[in-house]
Amino acid sequence: MRFPLLISALALLLSACSDITDMAAIEEEIRTGIQQQSGVTATIDCPSEIEWRVGGTFNCLVINGAQRSIATVSMQNAKGEYIWQVR
């Protein structure tokens, strides 16, 4: 089964006490979004460290059994808001 194109228009605002590079929280947000949108339970693997740059992007691997996809995370602002899209 191929992943359908999943687009999340939801941005996650991390709390003021959270590190905006909390990759575990970003992975969980993507995993939950995929499950809610498609019913697929996937494993998400984002880079362990990134430099948070407004307008920057990074990729996370989306794994569902033998299927692999990429979730592109777009950094929206210095508050830690982002959007993601699976291709």
DSSP letters for the chain: -PPPPEEE-------TTS-TT-HHHHHHHHHHHHHHHH----EEE--S-----TT-EEEEEEEETTEEEEEEEEE--TT--EEEEE-
The residue ranking higher by pLDDT, 86 or 19, is 86
- What are the pLDDT digits (tens) for 3-39? 443 433 333 333 222 346 789 999 999 999 999 999 9
Provide the b/e sequence for 27-50 (b: ≥16 CB within 10 Å).
Answer: bebbbebbeeeeebebebebeeeb
pLDDT at 34: 96
pLDDT at 21: 73
- What are the pLDDT digits (tens) for 51-84? 999 999 999 999 999 999 999 999 999 998 999 9
